[in-house]
A and B are shown apart, each in its own frame.
Chain A
Amino acid sequence: MSLFWIPVLLLIGVFVPLITERFGRTACAFFTMLAPALALTQIAGLLPEVLSGEVLTESLAWIPAVGLTLSMRLDGLGMMFSLLILGIGLLIILYARYYLSEKDAMGRFYAYLILFMTAMLSIVLSNNLLQLWMAWEVTSISSFLLISYWSSKTDSRKGARMALTVTGAGGLALLAGLLIIADIVGSYDLATVLASGDVIREHAMYPVALILVLLGAFTKSAQFPFHFWLPHAMAAPTPVSAYLHSATMVKAGIFLLARMYPVLSGTELWFLTVSLTGLATLLLGAYVALFKHDLKGLLAYSTISHLGLITLLLGMDTKLAAVAAVFHIMNHAIFKASLFMAAGIIDHESGSRDMRKLNGLWRYMPYTATLAMVAAASMAGVPLLNGFLSKEMFFAETLHQVALGSLSWMIPVLATLGGIFSVAYSLRFIHDVFFNGEPIDIPKTPHEPPRYMKIPIEILVTMCLLVGIFPSFMIGSLLQAASSTVLDGQLPEYSLSVWHGFNLPLLMSAIAMAGGLLVYAYRGRLYSFQAQFRETDAKLVFEGVIQAIVRQATAFHEWMANGSLQRYVALLLLLTLVMTASPLMELNSAAGHLPHQPVNGIEITAAILLCISALATVILHRQRMVALITLSVVGLIVSITFARFSAPDLALTQLAVEVVTVILLMLALFFLPQKTKNESSPRRVVRDLGIAAVCGGVIATINYAIITRPFDSISEFFLANSKTGGGGTNVVNVILVDFRGFDTLGEITVLGIAALGIFKLIARMRLAMPSADEKGRAWSEDRHPLILAMISQSLLPLALLVSVYIFLRGHNMPGGGFIAGLVTSVALIQQYIAHGVDWIKPRIKVDYQVLIASGVLIAALTGAGSWLFDKPFLTSWFDYFDIPWIGKIELASAILFDLGVYLTVVGATLLILANLGKLTTRHRPTVEE
């Protein structure tokens, strides 16, 4: 089966719990487990191939033109992580069945969990950097949903927000880092990237890429100083914590470090940054864990500490350290998952997680206590348990460090110190909870949990023991495969046996054990020492920072975007000015060397009229109707200019648009005061005049500079190919429906959407309707004069005929769907004006929304039609036919496309105008509606 099936299977599994929730909780859990179980068997089936060192890859071309492929990869590291993710995931599903109460929405919980599982698995199976990043972000989002599962609690929401913000910000840094890496290598393909480690390390951008990638990994893996989000994520239900903080989420960062190890490691910068961060995190986590009274808080900081340990191992300059890191990833996942689940049981059955209250639970739940103690012992690194093995390897590796020069001796000492605290907090977990007297003031009498709730822990604790006693038999080959992936095949010699003889690492372990006992025994002194420090709540600090940022952003936004249209226009114009003025200054002279065209009296007259009416619009802008009339003169002269300079299509369009615009503006202005007061201060008038004048000057200069220079454009191609390629002699129309048909399709879609948006705005708009004009004269009773009604009505067929004519001839002569659509709209709007809505309503029963939809649909289907003939989208077809009586005519598929354009334009124009017009009639929306 294809590797692609594994994430797809899980993705389908996301919906399973939502559907099966109604069949009861057990059934829901059972069906939810199916998809991950199936995926697990599929992965396990590939185990022999992967263990023999094969790297399974599969890819699916997605957008090959830009190098985007969906690509999967299963190697040793991916295999190890997949097994952990799916295996522990299954146990979590079983556990959560008993953990969640009747009130919790189980389907939603499982759906989030499987979504998270899918994302996590997609990270480890990804063979493409962008794909990996995408999955990475999905884990951030789905973990947000999981942590905030109990969304009624403020702690949950804040914790989830913090996790999302920190890991999300890290994700952005990671994206930047991955983009830089891809830029250096020239490919997003992981295999290519992994093979070009030397190129990357020697590149000048390597430090930047490294730091960015590390930011992503460190935020995700809760490394110091980004560790603060992890303890607050403990507000999540315990199954979530058990999953997120053992095998997944936080391990994603570690996975990234391991994945990029062959590419990014091997430099001084890597060793220093990674190992020091890891060391700091290890010590900080181990120290703080001891002081946490909350059971899950202790586990959270111990997780931070262990993540620091793995990071430190990956940052060490020996190959064996990397092997130890991989080993510890597995061990930590196993014992930490079981510990979290045990903590969940204790919380569930006793109602408290406070270790000051929980005491002596051994007597109430001996079975659970035994399991928890074994797991905790593994966390402390007690021999014959898996934690001991990797910790021994860790101690051994710290002894070989040279990265800090003569100060390198500090590393083993500090590591032992971390070990001491690790033993101490493990001891506290065991002693404080299960012994140490009687429980104090807890809500419930503790007892053993349901049978099946313990099964996941039993399985994991058995794993701890088996791996601890028979390491090479249990996981030797998997560790070898995973480590060789990390080390790019150069595996060092190592032995997985339990007993290595008396040596320094054993001594360090012994010191850690003894030291841990001592620290725990005298913990009272440490507590009183620690009590001198004021504890800061990271949540408050974080919220403070976030709110400060929001305040700043709001202030900036309010300053920038204060809702004043004039201000926006001024800012836009100023920006345009800055952008255009500087290249213009480099131009020596505005005038090019093309000769001027001769001017005649008509053109000069038109130009003068244009200037006068434009100026009049500005001067008279406070009397809106008058200004509208002068504005329409401007439009009219522009369309005449188009006609004069051989652009009949443009002229026709401009004319029709001008008519529609004037009607639209008249309708809109009806609701505004007819006259406005002068509100601009003289200073502002001068400023605005200045901006406008300079902008006008710049634009005029640009125009003049362009038209006086020879200008090579693509026009020649269109002119040459219009007839032969598009079958039409009207180049403008052929460009619209054929050469750039895809653009037009996009444009009419946008037009349709805009019209619907405006309709939505208008549909429920209740405006104060002025009952009189500005001089207080009531509106005339005679709204629809007979002569206008009669003339418009009798001209309608003629107007429609004209629009059909313009439409049909459009491919070869000035015209086309757009202009025809406008003409039809104007003809119909004329009826609205002349007769009123009451008259139109029973006569025109067309739904304009349907008109828009069918227009876009016809255009799109015409485009898709070419697929039937194995041609690319929107290939046009034309041929000539002899029809009796009519003669030889040309038929082109483009006319169908043009029909779509026509319908969309008619629908959009009428939808806007008719509904805006309705606002002035009794069909306007009222309060009762």
Chain B
Amino acid sequence: MNFWVELLISVLLILGGVFVLVGSIGLIRLKDLYVRLHAPTKATTLGLGGILLGSMVYMSHQHGYLTIHELLITLFLVITAPVTAHILAKVAMHHEVPMMKRTRNAEHVSTARKQQAPGDTKDQD
């Protein structure tokens, strides 16, 4: 296999691996649910994307034509991860899962829970 191709694949794999690792560490280390959500949705998705790209390059090189399976998988990951994160966050808000003390803009929580825009105060008492 061409050295440059191998290099490209290796870089993609390592980058992906690092992001997945960071995501996993984040899942353990981060303090509350809201913050923790970032780790799997952002870092891990990115990392998986890297690994899949590496796989795509490898497969394309092996077969001699462009394979886009991995691209599709990446696409689906990118589409679904935000939806999942969004729903999880909404559930957490609804269930009033406690948040870290140093959460910024904590004053918006009650308006968000009522599903109003941040500036909208007509319903506030």
Contact = CB atoms under 8 A, between A and B. Distances in A.
Interface string B39-70: 00000000000000000000000000000000
Contact of B90 (A777, A780, A791): A780
Contact of B94 (A780, A788, A791, A795): A780
Interface in A783-840: 785, 787-788, 791, 795
A217 B115 CA distance: 84
B15 to A, nearest CB: 23
Interface residues of A, number: 9
B79 interface: yes
Given A781-B115, A782-B90, A788 B95 contact: no
B18 to A, nearest CB: 22
B79 A785 contact: no
B25 interface: no
B87 A785 contact: yes
B94 A777 contact: yes
Contacts of B95: 777
Contacts of B118: none
B115 A791 contact: no
Nearest to A778: B94
B86 A787 contact: yes
A692 B86 CA distance: 41
A795 B79 contact: yes
Contacts of B80: 791
A539 B115 CA distance: 77
Nearest to A834: B83
A777 B95 CA distance: 7
A787 B82 contact: yes
Contact of A787 (B83, B91, B94): B83
Chain B interface residue bracket vs A: 10 to 19
A712 to B, nearest CB: 38
Residue of B83, B86, B87, B90 ringed by the most chain A CB atoms within 10 A: B83
Contacts of B90: 780, 782, 785
A325 to B, nearest CB: 88
Contacts of A785: 86-87, 90
A397 to B, nearest CB: 96
Contacts of B87: 785, 788
B115 A788 contact: no
Interface in A730-786: 777, 780-782, 785
Nearest to A775: B95
Interface in B74-106: 79-80, 82-83, 86-87, 90-91, 94-95
A485 B7 CA distance: 102
A788 B79 contact: no
A791 B87 CA distance: 13
A921 to B, nearest CB: 19
Nearest to B96: A777
Nearest to A789: B83
B91 to A, nearest CB: 8
Nearest to B72: A798
Contacts of A788: 83, 86-87
A605 B94 CA distance: 36
Nearest to B79: A791
A782 B115 contact: yes
5 contacts: A780-B94, A785-B86, A785-B87, A785-B90, A791-B80
Interface of B: 79-80, 82-83, 86-87, 90-91, 94-95, 115
Interface of A: 777, 780-782, 785, 787-788, 791, 795
Nearest first, the 6 closest Cβ-Cβ pairs linking A and B are A780-B94, A787-B86, A791-B83, A787-B83, A788-B83, A782-B115
Given A777-B95, A791-B79, 5 more contacts: A780-B91, A780-B94, A782-B90, A785-B86, A788-B83
